[in-house]
Amino acid sequence: MNIVRIAYTFLLAASLPCAIFLIRYACKRRTVPGANYFILLMLAAIVYNGGYIGEINSASLSTAMVWFDLEHLAIPLEHYFWLMMSLEYVRAPKRFLKMAKYIMLYHPVSYLVIYFTNRWHHLYIPVYRFVSNDYFPVIVSSKGVLYILMVASGTLMGLIATFFYIRAYLHSPRLHRYGHIIMILASLLPWFSVYLDATNTSYLGIDYYPVVSIFSGLLYAFGIFKFRVFRTIPLAMQIVFRNSKEGTLLIDLTDRLIDVNDAFLKIYPELNKLSDKYTFASFIQAHPELNGLSEGNDKLQYQRMINGEEGYFSAEITEILTEDGLQIGKILTINDVTLFVEHQKRLEAMASMALTKAETNEMSFLQAQIKPHFLNNTLSVIASMITVNPEEAKNLIGNLGEYLSSCCYFDSTSLMAALEKELEIVNTYVAIEKARFGERLNFQVICDKIPDLKIPRLVLQPLVENAIRHGILKKSEGGNVKLTIRCEGGKINFEIQDDGVGMGEEQINALEINDEQKTGVGLINIHKRLLKCYGEGLNIVSVRGQGTSVAFSVLLKNNHQLDLQEEPIRSMTVSLNGI
């Protein structure tokens, strides 16, 4: 094997891993218009280049023709994928793109039919010759009328793509036009090699298309993933964009700033001169008040001095999506909300007085809240049991009625309830949950005797509910919940323990300061009510993976006498046979 054949074989072989690299690169960015057809184009190029390696290293015409046939499987597909990549890349009208996807299949189909039936009609290539170019043998062929027809068909596809490239170039922002130029150059190079081969005028009779196609692939990748030539800002040059009172900054997928309107310039006048190297990240870095947007948040409110006066602004980032759901950029919008914030502050001052007067009513309202999902799930269980176990369905309806009666009834003049009554509500709730979750749930009340004591309404039931729903039922095997009541040192101590999934320190802190339960009576509300009544709130201890303990104490004042009942409440496991 001579040095020329070795060199060209090495060059062709090197193109294969290069194509694989481009495919892997594009696969990670498949949402970019044109990326999927680019991947298919590179796969076809790998087949073509591999076939040509075999052709130029064949010892006979028959062997070379096997590889030559393999190349011709890829050639028409490359033409088709290249056209569709171009049309999708420049964002051709959706209707035209859909039509082209099917109509242009005529080219690969007719090409393959003509080529592989050539042995019978000889109108594509009449004669094949296997001749030496003084370095290695190559296939030289005369061209028939159908060959010329297929070259003309491919040229038509090239003209269609070029038309849309030029059309998109004229309608694109300045920063995107470089990409169109690169894509046009990348398209012209392979076609020059096609025409050289068609006229048998290539040097040494070598087909340069395999190597050139990979080089063009590099340019395509640069154009597609660097510049993304499509209409990111269809209204950017129109009056609506320029004169909008909402400050608007347009950002492409490479994080570069594309355009900005006049309202935005009033807030950030330094953007009057946009630079190709000015990115959104550098803009955020230069303006610390916008740092919150770079932390994954898409909304932010902040303050900024404008002409010596403090203003309040609302910033929001939204994605620009095509009708196909592809992201083609982002928009940063900024609104001046100074008047709104000042008005809001006045309203907050007025509301503060009203909230103080409404505290008592708030506690009553919280007691009346019902969780819709709990009611819906319970009714679903009852519906499923009616035909299977009517008697137990009847019992469950009774339990639900008692539960709703207890939750819905409130009296602003009597915010306290007997402990015995609160325990009945707890047991009714557990019976309902037990009907749904069966042996996954075990519940105990541990108390020597029931104290004759009044506590704030609906304190125990929500705590037991949190232990069940957020501790036990998050474990596939379920677990145990214990409610312990003890009299110690002038206090009645209540503790709800579970051996569920537990919580970390951050979650515990969040429960203590935030109302995580947007519906129903949350831990923060119980904590606040206990503080108002006794000066002490909830004490939460939890170990992740081991369980949670929620405890509180009720001080025994002079007017709270312990009248212990004669019969103790049994330490019971709520298995509730049959439910």
pLDDT tens across 21-37, in order?
A: 888 888 887 877 788 88
Check residue 357 and give its pLDDT.
57
Greater pLDDT, 194 or 107: 107
- The 10s digit of each residue's pLDDT in 530-566 is 888 888 888 999 888 899 999 999 987 643 444 433 3
Instruction: List the structure tokens of 491.
Output: 């206090």
Residue 476 exposed, middle or buried by CB count within 10 Å (0-12, 13-18, 19+) = exposed
- The 10s digit of each residue's pLDDT in 60-116 is 888 888 998 998 898 899 889 988 988 888 878 788 888 989 999 999 999 999 999
CA separation for the pair 543, 500 (Å, rounded): 9
Q: How sure is the predictor about 145, in pLDDT bands with cuts at 50, 70 and 90?
A: very high
Cα dist from 185 to 161, 212, 215, 219, whole Å? 12, 12, 11, 8
Taking the CA atoms of residue 189, residue 190, residue 193 and residue 199 in that order, the dihedral angle to the nearest 10 degrees is -120
CA separation for the pair 461, 430 (Å, rounded): 9
Walk across the sheet containing 547-555 and list its strands. Answer: 539-543, 547-555, 491-498, 479-488, 441-446, 572-573
Listing DSSP states for 52-103 in one string gives: HHHHHT-SSHHHHHHHHHHHHHHHHHHHHHHHHHHHHHTT--HHHHHHHHHH
Cα dist from 226 to 82, 222, 535, whole Å? 18, 5, 63
- The 10s digit of each residue's pLDDT in 157-184 is 888 888 888 887 777 666 566 777 777 7
Greater pLDDT, 485 or 416: 485
CA separation for the pair 26, 88 (Å, rounded): 15
How many C-beta atoms lie closer than 10 Å to residue 484's C-beta? Answer: 16
The answer, yes or no, to whether residue 227 has pLDDT greater than 90, is no
CA separation for the pair 137, 61 (Å, rounded): 9
What is the chain's alpha carbon radius of gyration, rounded to the nearest angstrom? 38
Asked if 19 and 46 touch (Cβ cutoff 8 Å), the reply is yes
Greater pLDDT, 71 or 407: 71
Residue 56 exposed, middle or buried by CB count within 10 Å (0-12, 13-18, 19+) = buried
The answer, yes or no, to whether residue 237 has pLDDT greater than 70, is no
Q: How sure is the predictor about 360, in pLDDT bands with cuts at 50, 70 and 90?
A: low
Quick one: which H or E segment has residue 509? Answer: helix 505-513
The answer, yes or no, to whether residue 401 has pLDDT greater than 60, is yes
Give the position of tokens 């409440």. Answer: 569
Measuring CA to CA, which residue among 568, 575, 576 is closest to residue 446?
568
The answer, yes or no, to whether residue 326 has pLDDT greater than 80, is no
Coarse DSSP helix, strand, coil percentages of the chain, rounded to the nearest 5 percent: 55, 15, 25
CA angle 55, 60, 65 (to 5 degrees): 50
The answer, yes or no, to whether residue 520 has pLDDT greater than 80, is no
CA separation for the pair 459, 48 (Å, rounded): 75
Instruction: List the structure tokens of 315.
Output: 């910033």
Per CATH, the number for 359-573 is 3.30.565.10
**Looking at the DSSP assignment, which residues form a beta bridge with residue 303?**
312
Would you tell me which CATH number, out of the four given (3.60.120.10, 3.10.310.30, 1.20.1070.10, 1.20.1260.10), belongs to the domain 3-227? 1.20.1070.10
Instruction: List the structure tokens of 387.
Output: 């035909």
Residue 472 exposed, middle or buried by CB count within 10 Å (0-12, 13-18, 19+) = buried
CA separation for the pair 522, 202 (Å, rounded): 81
Asked if 257 and 274 touch (Cβ cutoff 8 Å), the reply is yes
- Going from N- to C-terminal start, the domains of the chain cover 3-227, 239-342, 359-573
Check residue 43 and give its pLDDT.
92
CA separation for the pair 72, 121 (Å, rounded): 17
**Looking at the DSSP assignment, which residues form a beta bridge with residue 555?**
491
CA separation for the pair 513, 496 (Å, rounded): 20
- pTM of the entire predicted model: 0.42
Check residue 112 and give its pLDDT.
93
CA separation for the pair 57, 67 (Å, rounded): 10
CA separation for the pair 561, 454 (Å, rounded): 10
Instruction: List the structure tokens of 475.
Output: 């474990």
Measuring CA to CA, which residue among 45, 114, 39 is closest to residue 78?
45
Fold category of 239-342 in CATH: Beta-Lactamase (3.30.450)
CA separation for the pair 376, 452 (Å, rounded): 35
Q: Which amino acid is at 407?
A: C
Q: State whether residue 418 is helix, strand or coil.
A: strand
Check residue 511 and give its pLDDT.
63
